[in-house]
């Protein structure tokens, strides 16, 4: 009876551990999304290149912001894909290629912080686009501007809360340190 229980426990544990491979199609789907985003980036770049003589200074800045925005989203996809795969599925064997330093070192907390940083940058670029349109004299709905500013503020607040909670969690996980040898213990 004990052998049967042990066999069942081992098989259940192995099945749960092997279930991590169910995440692999999600990460491959993100690679497909990255390829699609590359297509959009190249199409937009070609569109801007064809209209370069018609672009004013403000349009050129908006063009750059638009391309930076797409680049940040691509970075976001890449970080989630590589770090998520390594954290939740298995280590990526790069076949001798030089691995980026951050690979294998981005834990779930660091990944959340990187994601929030990218999302905040994307939000800031969207706000900057609105402000540039205002500067050009375009009419922007004040309600839209308020909502975008509020959402950006909430993203900043969320990132701050995440950073504080992560710091508190790491602080609690550190073992208590012995006082230096020349310092008497507190009484």
pLDDT in tens, 18-48: 888 888 899 999 999 999 999 999 999 999 9
Q: Kindly provide the b/e burial profile for residues 140-151, where b requires at least 16 CB atoms within 10 angstroms of the residue's own CB.
A: eeeeeeeebeee
**Mean pLDDT in residue range 85-103:** 73
pLDDT digits (tens, 9 = 90+) for 60-76: 888 888 898 899 889 88
Residue 2 lies in a domain: no
Residue 165 lies in a domain: yes
In this prediction, residue 187 carries a pLDDT of 52
Between CA 3 and CA 116 the distance in angstroms is 48
Residue 127 lies in a domain: yes
pTM for this model (two decimals): 0.67
Sequence-separated (6 or more) residues with CB below 8 Å from residue 9: none
Give residue 110's domain range: 9-90+101-173
Per the structure, the count of domains in the chain is 1
pLDDT digits (tens, 9 = 90+) for 120-168: 888 888 888 888 777 777 788 888 889 988 999 999 999 888 888 888 8
In this prediction, residue 150 carries a pLDDT of 92
Residue 95 lies in a domain: no
Task: From residue 12, give the alpha-carbon distance in Å to each of 6, 24, 81, 170.
Answer: 10, 20, 28, 32
Residue 179 lies in a domain: no
Q: What is the DSSP letter of 20?
A: G
């Amino acid at each position: 009876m004990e052998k049967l229980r042990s066999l069942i426990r081992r098989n259940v544990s192995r099945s749960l551990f092997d279930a991590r491979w169910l995440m692999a199609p999600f990460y491959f789907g993100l690679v497909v999304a990255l390829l699609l985003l590359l297509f959009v980036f190249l199409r937009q770049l070609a569109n801007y290149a064809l209209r370069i003589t018609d672009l004013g200074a403000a349009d050129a800045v908006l063009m750059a912001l638009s391309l930076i925005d797409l680049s940040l989203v691509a970075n976001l996809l890449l970080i989630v894909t590589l770090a998520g795969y390594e954290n939740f599925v298995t280590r990526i064997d790069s076949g001798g290629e030089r691995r980026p330093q951050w690979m294998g070192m981005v834990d779930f907390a660091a990944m959340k912080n990187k994601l929030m940083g990218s999302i905040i940058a994307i939000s800031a670029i969207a706000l900057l686009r609105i402000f540039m349109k205002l500067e050009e004299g375009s009419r922007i709905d004040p309600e839209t501007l308020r909502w975008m500013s509020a959402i950006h503020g909430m993203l900043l607040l969320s990132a701050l809360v995440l950073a504080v909670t992560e710091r508190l969690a790491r602080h609690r996980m550190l073992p208590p340190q012995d006082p230096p040898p020349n310092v008497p213990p507190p009484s």
